[in-house]
Amino acid sequence: MVFKPVYLLILFGTIVIDYFAGIWIAQAKTHRNRKLLLIISLISNVGILAFFKYFDFVEESVNAVLASLGSEMAFPPLTALLPQTITQFMVNGAGQILLPIGLSFHTFQAMSYTIEVYRGNQEPERHFGIYALYVMFYPQLVAGPIERPQNMLHQFHTYFKYDFENVKAGLMQMAFGLFKKLVVADRLAMVVDYAYSNPSEQNGLTLLVSTIFFSFQIYCDFSGYSDIAIGAARVMGFKLMDNFKNPYEATSIADFWSRWHISLSTWFKDYLYIPLGGNRKGEFRRQLNLFIIFLVSGLWHGSSWNYVIWGALHGLYRVIGGLKDKILYKSKIQFPQNSFFKVVNILITFTIVMFAWVFFRNDKAPVEQSFMIINKIFALNWSEPIHSPFNSVEMWFCVLLIALLLIKEHYYLKIPTSDTRLFFIMFAGIAFLTYFFGVFTSNQFIYFQF
């Protein structure tokens, strides 16, 4: 994921196409013409995303299949298909395509606009600058939340008066987002990177602890960015949708995905699951549709078979969970609704989510390495030492940070800021703790790569 000035032409091109597509869809006299214009818009967006994100993946996969069949044929690299004057801006030294920063996020946001105009849920935006601002709104451009036009476009037409309550709430959310990123996520990343950089040399207990740490690293990293984006917009008076709601308190996979990356999961529900038929075509199609959207979600995250397996696992979890609920309902079996069973369900959900994270974290390595890590975890010996770059005090400090995070987000998903004096004290305290305990390295946000 890179920023290249020449890539702005790609963004500008898609903005122009979608801007006029929205207006022409609304003006079209027949359903056929409206549908044709929508298809043109979607193809332009998906085509650009697929080219930059999946060309190398398709090339490598096809060549691997051809090689396994003993064929001497090979899928040509991009440099052999396009003139050097073009490819010199698009590939790195290894010949791999450089992905424009934020491409997946603003592509999906742009697609939601034309689809909603086509469905009649959104009037076309005739002010080109405002439409461009909707696609390129800087707080959430590179890593979401993925917004809907119904939530954002009318806000760009609104005059916002200075509101100190919004400023306080936004600054506090930004401050805690930075705390989650710099103090928690980047500190846990040091342990995770140490173990996953050479997992064949690590024992099962080390890999288990590192995988647990990664579960919280990616949560703090991504939700931290979402907090910064939502908070920055709030300071200016804009309201973005929430993207996380205590996902590790989920009691099932369905519950987890109603709390994790909400803007993406609802996007897939609205624009893929429902068009596929949703739950309107029988139980088998419902389960198949659920599996498909999770498989596509895995591919959306990146061009790696590890991402595909991660998405497929969540699809399988979701299907099995749905079938389990149906069997229990028909059997009239009810478990007690008490705290003990709730904690058990939370632990089970976290465990299966955590094992799927192995594939997500291991995205750039062969799939075999991911299975090797899981095999080592299942065969662990609890007497083994935990290898890490930290001493025991620093490791327990990581555990303490995770515990404090869970406690805070259980009781206060958003830190209250109505008391101005308390706001200044807490804001200064969070800033001091971030400065004192933060890990100030070059670690970018994980979701910048998507």
Peptide bond into 100 cis (omega under 30): no
Q: Are 187 and 202 in contact (CB under 8 A)?
A: no
What is the per-residue burial (b if ≥16 Cβ within 10 Å, else e) of 287-306?
bebbbbbbbbbbbbbbbbbb
10 Å CB burial of residue 382 (0-12, 13-18, 19+) is exposed
Query: Distances in Å between the alpha carbon of 170 and those of 174, 176, 182?
Result: 6, 10, 18
Q: What is the 3-state secondary structure (H, E, C) of 208-270?
A: HHHHHHHHHHHHHHHHHHHHHHHHHHHHCCCCCCCCCCCHHHCCCHHHHHCCCCHHHHHHHHH
Query: Distances in Å between the alpha carbon of 54 and those of 7, 11, 47, 59?
Result: 17, 18, 10, 8
Strand partners, 91: 97
Active site residue: 301, 314, 387, 410, which one? 301
The verdict on whether 410 is a catalytic residue reads no
Amino acid identity of 426? M
10 Å CB burial of residue 104 (0-12, 13-18, 19+) is buried
Taking only Cα atoms into account, the Rg of the chain, rounded to an integer number of angstroms, comes to 23
Token representation of residue 292: 């498909």
| Residues belonging to the active site | 301
